[in-house]
Structure 1
Amino acid sequence: MDFPLTSAASPHLVVLGSTGSTNADLLAAVDEPHLATWATLDQSAGRGRLDRRWVTAPGRSLAASVLLHRGDLPTEALGWVPLLAGVAMRASVRRVVGAADVTLKWPNDVQVGGDKVCGLLAELRPDASAVVVGAGVNLTVPADQLPTPTATSLGLHGASGSALDLADAVLSSWVADLGRLVGDLTAAGGDATASGALDAVREACATLGRRVRVELPGGAVLVGEAVDVDEAGRLVVRSATTGGTTAVASGDVTHLRYE
């Protein structure tokens, strides 16, 4: 498989005919440069957030991972990497489908028309020297083969071309934008406000202003309105019962479509 656009955006591109997980492959690889990219159209054992299985349709979905060397990025700023990955993927999807209604569901699910087209997972290497960010994008999956009723694909929103061409277009711009955004954050010493990361996430995030249900670690549930993303990247939720606010660092967020 040929990915000419991505070959120009990444210093080292590995395209696999099939694999269990591009994230696992890249985490285990040695001597890979910053922005090294591994990709496939046939991933069988991908994982999403909260260790959920990420199922991709062979030949119709992209699974890809990018290696980001930390460099001088402070530990406290690492939580911004998956958020910026979502911002970068949102921009990439918008270029392909040409739709204004491409948004993020906090922290980093990319949606078109409110339905999920891409999931992202960031994993820190055991020695904390680098982060691997994985993406799963539904490219040409028809409606009757989507994994859930709230999923969608690029093809269902007017993206034209083969799965391979769409994969190259999406991946190349994602790698370039992700490298730029993380570079800006690093140059700002991890300051999300100074680098523009905070404004970019707030602008992209459709969760803000929505009534949400958040399943918190440990099993507690928070229902209320998502009112902000704070300077640490946490989702700030105003409780529907107490009126108080809680800053959520991790949790499973559902947009409540009906009151």
Structure 2
Amino acid sequence: MDFPRSRPLVPELESLAQATSTNDILASSVAGRPHFSTVVTLDQTAGHGRLGRSWVTPPGEALAVSVLLRPFDRLPTDSLGWITLCAGLAMTRAVQSLLPERHVALKWPNDVHIDGRKVCGVLAQLLPGSTIVVGAGLNLTIDEEKLPVPTATSLRIGGATGEAIELADQALAVYLRELQRLWDRLINARGDADISGIRREVTEACSTIGRSVRVNLPDGSDLHGKATALDRFGHLELNADPDGASQTVTAGDVTHLRYE
């Protein structure tokens, strides 16, 4: 797996025939690796999702990619939530480049959807030494009968043609370019998502905004309401009270409801 489009875009691209978790491999070997070092595989056997969930895909039919970002010491701690959203926006643009006729959107906080079905998840891990590893898993050529859940999809189901490795390289090249641009803008603006324009761009790409949603919070409770905006930290503003008062959601699993 040579990744001819993607390899020139990063200082180091390690392509593995098989990996347990690209995030784990990169996180355990950060010493000496330059900023934007990248680890990829099409056969990940122990991928991670949010809240300790597993990411399971058939071998050879999904891309797992992890990117090393450092240093982030020019970013205020309260702006770090934008990194996951930037990665999600970068992957949204990558998928859209392959499926220009489809509706591709970012679902807060870390999923990419094609026509309302999940094709990619993003997971960022904060490490010592002002270092972040951002991982993404993208379904490439998985058929309907192999999907882990009926709400998932793949590039192939969405209409993309070509072999898995070709689709992986095309998507990865766009993802890496967009992630680098967004990272540079966030760093240059010292984490200010308004000055950088990132809050506006993420909001425009985010299908959660304006939707009636249910949010399962980390304590197990649920919130219902209309998602109205992203605040300056990337948190979700939710109109969940009869009197119109807004609540801020910093973390949680969001379900888009069918009614408005």
Q: TM-score normalised to the size of structure 2?
A: 0.96
SS at match of 1:193: coil
Question: 1:117-196 residue pairs with structure 2 within 5 A?
Answer: 117-125=119-127, 127-196=128-197
The percent of aligned pairs where both chains have the same amino acid is: 50
When residues 211 and 96 of structure 1 are mapped into structure 2, their CA distance, relative to the original with a 3 A threshold, is same
Displacement after TM superposition at 1:97 (Å): 1.5
SS at match of 1:227: strand
- Measure, in 2, the Cα distance between the counterparts of 1:86 and 1:237: 20
Question: In the alignment, residue 164 of structure 1 is paired with which amino acid?
Answer: I
When residues 95 and 189 of structure 1 are mapped into structure 2, their CA distance, relative to the original with a 3 A threshold, is same
The Cα RMSD (Å) is 1.2
The residue number in structure 2 matching 1:28 is 28
The residue number in structure 1 matching 2:16 is 16
Question: In the alignment, residue 7 of structure 1 is paired with which amino acid?
Answer: R
Q: How many residues align?
A: 258
Displacement after TM superposition at 1:131 (Å): 0.8
* Contact kept? 1:22, 1:39, Cα under 8 Å: yes
SS at match of 1:5: coil
Question: In the alignment, residue 37 of structure 1 is paired with which amino acid?
Answer: T
The residue number in structure 2 matching 1:42 is 43
Displacement after TM superposition at 1:204 (Å): 0.5
Displacement after TM superposition at 1:56 (Å): 1.6
Displacement after TM superposition at 1:13 (Å): 0.3
The residue number in structure 1 matching 2:70 is 69
Displacement after TM superposition at 1:172 (Å): 1.4
Query: CA-to-partner distance for each residue in 1:207-252, whole Å, 9 max, x for gaps?
Result: 0111100011211210011011111101011115553211111001
- Measure, in 2, the Cα distance between the counterparts of 1:92 and 1:81: 17
- Measure, in 2, the Cα distance between the counterparts of 1:223 and 1:201: 22
When residues 255 and 128 of structure 1 are mapped into structure 2, their CA distance, relative to the original with a 3 A threshold, is farther
* Contact kept? 2:102, 2:158, Cα under 8 Å: no
Q: TM-score normalised to the size of structure 1?
A: 0.96
- Unmatched 5+ stretches in structure 2: none
The residue number in structure 1 matching 2:208 is 207
When residues 128 and 241 of structure 1 are mapped into structure 2, their CA distance, relative to the original with a 3 A threshold, is farther
* Contact kept? 1:56, 1:62, Cα under 8 Å: no
SS at match of 2:6: helix
Query: CA-to-partner distance for each residue in 1:94-129, whole Å, 9 max, x for gaps?
Result: 01112341001101200000000000000011x141
- Measure, in 2, the Cα distance between the counterparts of 1:131 and 1:253: 24
The residue number in structure 2 matching 1:80 is 82
Question: In the alignment, residue 56 of structure 2 is paired with which amino acid?
Answer: V
- Unmatched 5+ stretches in structure 1: none
Question: In the alignment, residue 17 of structure 1 is paired with which amino acid?
Answer: A
The residue number in structure 2 matching 1:55 is 56
